[in-house]
Structures are given as C-alpha cells and as structure tokens.
Amino acid sequence: MTMIQSLRSAMDVMMERDDNVIVYGQDVGYFGGVFRVTEGLQAKYGKTRCFDAPISEGGIVGTAIGMAAYGLKPVVEIQFADYFYPATDQIVSEAARMRHRSNGDFTSAMTIRMPCGGGIYGGQTHSQSPEAFFTHVCGLRTVMPSNPYDAKGLLIASIECEDPVIFLEPKRLYNGPFDGHHDRPVVPWSKHALGMVPEGYYRVPLDRAVVFRPGKEVTVLTYGTMVWVAECAAREAGVDAEVIDLRSIWPLDLDTVVNSVKKTGRCVVVHEATRTSGFGAELVALVQEECFWHLEAPIERVTGWDTPYPHAQEWDYFPGPARVGAALKRAVGKEA
C-alpha cells in the first residue's frame, strides 16, 4: 500500500468495526479528499458517516468535540496543516481540556488528520510543519508516521484512543519514501518492505519510538520525512548513525531516546519545521538533562530556517542529506 491507501484502510477497518466512527472534512466525502485519502468511504458507508464540511476549520473541530462528548468517534480532516489556525481555540481550549475541566466525566476521543510538510512545491501556505504548536498543549497527543505500515497502525490506535490526537501526515511520503534528493526518480512504496501493509486490523502503540537504523557512532532523533533523509545522510556521509523514528512526538518515548544517546554519546536532532522553538529544542533540552554525563560532543540541530517556506528556494529551506550529513560529521569529529 501507499501511505494514502494505508490511511484509507485504517479508517475503513475502524468504520466497519465501530458504527460510532465517522469521517468528515472539506471535500472528504464525495470527492474523497484533496489527496484521495478518504476515496470510496462515502460510497461504502453512506453520507451520514462520511461527509463534506463547510470551509470552516473551527466549525469542523468544534462539531467533532460535541460529537465526541456524546460518544461518537469523529475522524476529521484539516485539508492542509497550514489551515488549522482558525480551529486553535477549539483544539486548545476545548478538546485538550475536556477531560480535566469535566473531572473525567467527558473526553474528546477524536482524531484530527492534517497533511503536513514540504517537498511538493506548495509554498508558504501548503508546506508548514506545525507539530510544536500541539506538543506545547497538555491534553493533546501528537503523532507523525514515516511509512505506510506505521501510518495504518498508528491511525487505528489514534481512533481508539480516549484522548484527542493530532495526526500529522507528511504528504511528501504519501506515494513513496523520500531521501531528500528531489532530482532523483520517486521510489514507490510497492518496492519497499514498509509498504507491505496487512489488510485487517492491527495497532502500533502511540507512545513507542522505533530504532529505524541501528548504529554506534551517533544518535539521530527525528520523525516523518526526515527519517528517510537522515538514513540517506548517514549512508552518504559514511557515519554509523542510529536513527530513531519517534513516531509519537508527544507523549515521547524518552526511554528509547535516552538508551540510544547513552550508547552512542552523541546526538543530532533533525526536523523540517522552523528552528526557533521547534520541537527539536525540547529534544535537545531532554537529552541534555538525561544524558549530560554521557555526551562526548555538543548536540547538533538541523532544521528548516526561520522564514516562511519559500516556493522558489524550496531545496535551500528543506533540510536535505547534505546539511544532515555535515552535522553528523561534526558530531563525530569527521569534518573535512
């Protein structure tokens, strides 16, 4: 399966298992979504369980909160992550706080899907990576898969979760892994083992990272598209890097992070979002707090720049394998 197909399969499986699961958003019903992730679900389950919503992100999320309070399991789509801002008050003040303010009487068991990230020439309003906004809010879970197998299992786990889950989908990975070399042919998921996705039900835990690439010289902490960029950078730079795919950005699997950094003694943090106050800053602080006496070199950070995502300079902004590879070499003392 492609990631598009695996996400659709997850919703299909859950809609079949539980009549309370409903799917909606802009163009999600008849059209099947701008990326066709929900294609066929309305035809299969009807217009009361998969339907189109007005262009109102606040309305989409606000109605989902009410549905969740009454026991439904809404899975809503924000067409691009860049458009979530009008729904900020509903997400932060209502969904994230519902369990606390009701003393556990109500929850917001809902999943908010958002295609995110660049690499598709989407410019400043179709390329943002806003994960740090959500990790700052207590009461939210934030997830970003890097491959179709994890995407399906994580989405099923998100739909079953009693907390509101922000489910970020790196759209550059929808149809194949991307190592940052935009001038090379796209490799389809059909040629990769992580494109082998079971048809039925399975879960991937929401709070578990995975060692994507074992290594001994340096730990790379990353998620989403940057998992593939980091793996490519390590190979091309000749550095024996251990790449950790966080998968669940928050809550964070701190044990896996700490165990890896204590083993390698070095750490590079990589993400596509802007640098200042990005989630990488939190990762750097945690590694410093938990692994200080094991560190052999300063922690490196490779990110997007502190600018809007530029259309004309897409690949100068995107943290490609050359920039990541240079950081890996600095971390292990192999600078040219």
Neighbour-count burial of 127, counting CB atoms closer than 10 A to its CB (0-12 exposed, 13-18 middle, 19+ buried): buried
Contact in structure between 247 and 158 (CB atoms under 8 Å): no
Amino acid at residue number 276: T
Contact in structure between 204 and 247 (CB atoms under 8 Å): yes
Bridge partners (DSSP) of residue 268 are 220, 300
Backbone torsions φ then ψ of 218, nearest 5 degrees:
-160, 150
Q: What is the DSSP string of 103-146?
A: TTS-----EEEEEE--SSS--TTS----HHHHHTSTT-EEE--S
Contact in structure between 267 and 221 (CB atoms under 8 Å): yes
Bridge partners (DSSP) of residue 243 are 213, 220
In angstroms, the CA 121 to CA 107 distance is 38
Q: How long a stretch of residues is the chain?
A: 336
Q: CB atoms < 10 A from the CB of 162, how many? A: 12
Query: DSSP 3-state assignment of 269?
Result: strand
Q: Tell me how far apart the 2 most distant CA atoms of the chain are, in Å.
A: 61
Q: Which entry of 100, 126, 192, 294 is annotated as an active-site residue?
A: 126
Residue with tokens 């369990």: 99
Catalytic status, residue 136: no
Backbone torsions φ then ψ of 102, nearest 5 degrees:
-100, 10
Angle of helix 148-160 relative to helix 3-17, nearest 10 degrees, comes to 30
Task: List residues with catalytic annotation.
Answer: 126
